[in-house]
């Protein structure tokens, strides 16, 4: 039995290109979005601090997950902002609301990430000062 579809199950060249395009998007966001740079640097510092104080593998995975979530939402926020800017260059309340809501989503998840970090690091910090 032969397949009517001549396309391969996996196109390695298309897969590589998709990674290149994604990398370009991340690079663009790094260059043009201050908050993405701040979140990236703070995330790297948190991961490093976790390694230094030997947080458990599960806690390390949780930190990586929330940091990745914040960075992912920053990328989505940037895409939404650029999309809105493409649609209208004039001030419109609807455009402001879209941008504000997307930024709010990043803020909510960033606060969640901070709370996760506090939950993991605070007991260890308290323990250091009570010895």
Specify whether 74 is catalytic.
Answer: yes
Residue ranges in the chain assigned as alpha helix (H) = 12-32, 34-52, 57-87, 93-129
Name the catalytic one among 74, 81, 90, 94.
74
What are the CA-CA distances from residue 33 to residues 67, 80, 89, 102, 129 (Å)? Answer: 16, 13, 19, 14, 37
Collapsing DSSP to helix, strand or coil, 9 comes out as coil
Catalytic residues: 74
């Amino acid at each position: 039995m032969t397949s009517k579809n001549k396309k391969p199950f996996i196109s390695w060249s298309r897969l590589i290109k998709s990674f290149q395009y994604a990398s370009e998007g991340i690079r663009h966001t790094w260059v043009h979005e201050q908050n993405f740079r701040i979140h990236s640097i703070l995330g790297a510092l948190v991961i490093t601090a976790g390694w230094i104080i030997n947080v458990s593998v599960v806690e390390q995975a949780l930190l990586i997950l929330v940091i990745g979530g914040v960075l992912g939402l920053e990328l989505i926020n940037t895409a939404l902002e650029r999309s809105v800017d493409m649609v209208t260059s004039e001030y419109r309340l609807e455009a402001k609301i879209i941008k504000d809501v997307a930024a709010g989503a990043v803020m909510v998840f960033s606060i969640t990430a901070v709370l996760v970090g506090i939950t993991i690091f605070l007991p260890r910090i308290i323990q250091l000062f009570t010895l």
